[in-house]
């Protein structure tokens, strides 16, 4: 058992359920994650006090290397001392956004981000080339591209998100720690 789950046992079972749902979702999309780099995983919560409790536990098992305000809410990034393992991929970075205007169905693990190196403006084409077209026309699947505003000189973090409303996969060009470093 990962040491984080001693502090946050509710997230241990949730990670197992997230892993099962992610596996099912990627199979539905015809996407093989085995040769891809899973960059980081993200949590979602409904209350500030939950975010504060999770932040305290994450700080005990790693260090916060980014505290940004994006879209009017704090988003922290933590590098864990011992990576989590998700579908045989070690993931050392956890994204913890505080609650915002949007309410998610579920409190816990919400999405995972995949790095696909190449030109940022072509992230959509690279990601879509990995997904079976039949998976994208299934009911409830949505695809959205987002290009967050960046500071001058920062890396372009254009992201393509694919979701079924419960699990989300996001694709971007650079590892999140490189994006954060470029913003300094």
pLDDT of amino acid 104? 67
| Chain centroid offset of residue 6 CA | 22
| Domain architecture of the chain: domains with CATH | 4-183 (3.10.180.10)
pLDDT of amino acid 65? 96
Q: Residue 30: phi, psi to the nearest 5?
A: 70, 30
Q: What is the 3-state secondary structure (H, E, C) of 161-179?
A: EEECCCCEEEEECCCHHHH
Q: How far is it, in rounded angstroms, from Cα 20 to Cα 68?
A: 31
pLDDT of amino acid 150? 61
Full pLDDT tens readout for the chain, 184 residues: 788 888 888 899 899 999 999 999 999 999 999 989 999 999 999 899 999 999 999 999 999 999 988 888 899 999 999 999 999 999 999 999 998 877 666 889 999 999 999 999 999 999 999 998 776 677 888 999 988 776 677 898 899 999 998 899 999 999 999 999 998 8
The alpha helices in 61-149, defined as continuous H runs, are 123-130, 133-136
Measuring CA to CA, which residue among 163, 123, 179, 176 is closest to residue 25? 163
pLDDT of amino acid 170? 96
């Amino acid at each position: 058992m990962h040491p984080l789950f001693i502090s946050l046992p509710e997230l241990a079972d949730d990670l197992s359920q997230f892993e099962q749902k992610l596996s099912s979702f990627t199979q539905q999309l015809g996407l093989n994650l085995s040769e891809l780099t899973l960059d980081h995983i993200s949590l979602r919560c409904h209350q500030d006090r939950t975010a504060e409790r999770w932040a305290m536990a994450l700080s005990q098992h790693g260090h916060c290397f980014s505290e940004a305000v994006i879209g009017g809410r704090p988003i922290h990034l933590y590098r864990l001392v011992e990576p989590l393992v998700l579908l045989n991929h070690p993931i050392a970075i956890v994204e913890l956004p505080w609650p915002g205007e949007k309410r998610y169905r579920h409190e816990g693990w919400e999405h995972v981000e995949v790095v696909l190196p190449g030109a940022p403006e072509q992230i959509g084409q690279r990601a879509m080339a990995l997904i079976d077209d039949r998976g994208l026309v299934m009911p409830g699947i949505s695809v959205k591209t987002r290009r967050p505003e960046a500071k001058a000189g920062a890396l372009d973090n254009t992201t393509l998100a694919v979701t079924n409303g419960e699990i989300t996969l996001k694709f971007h060009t650079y590892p999140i720690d490189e994006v954060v470093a470029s913003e300094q």
